[in-house]
Amino acid sequence: MAITKVWIEDGCIVCNACETTCPEVFTVTEETCKIRAEVRLDGQQTPNLEERSALSGTIGKELADQIQEAAEGCPVEVIKFEKI
């Protein structure tokens, strides 16, 4: 399985669980969680909700398990992803 896109829906409570699980992809700010610019094709660092930018290179394959674990561990279930 490879994850092609990951985004954060509204409602993040900035608990840091995702960043603890997969710091290569997630970064938590005071307001919300963001998908790191260096793992996105568009190079932006946002929640990726509107853009839905794809993950770059082999990140989605290499870190698929950690991304899925972060989504499953999110207490408010706002981490979403697409997989192939």
Q: Give residue limits of the domains in the chain.
A: 3-83
pTM of the predicted model as reported, rounded to 2 decimal places: 0.96
d(CA 54, CA 42): 8
- CATH number listed for the domain at residues 3-83: 3.30.70.20
Q: Given this model, what pLDDT does residue 44 score?
A: 98
d(CA 79, CA 10): 9
pLDDT tens, N- to C-terminus, the chain (84 residues)? 899 999 999 999 999 999 999 999 999 999 999 999 999 999 999 999 999 999 999 999 999 999 999 999 999 999 999 998
Helix (H, G, I), strand (E, B) or coil at 50: coil
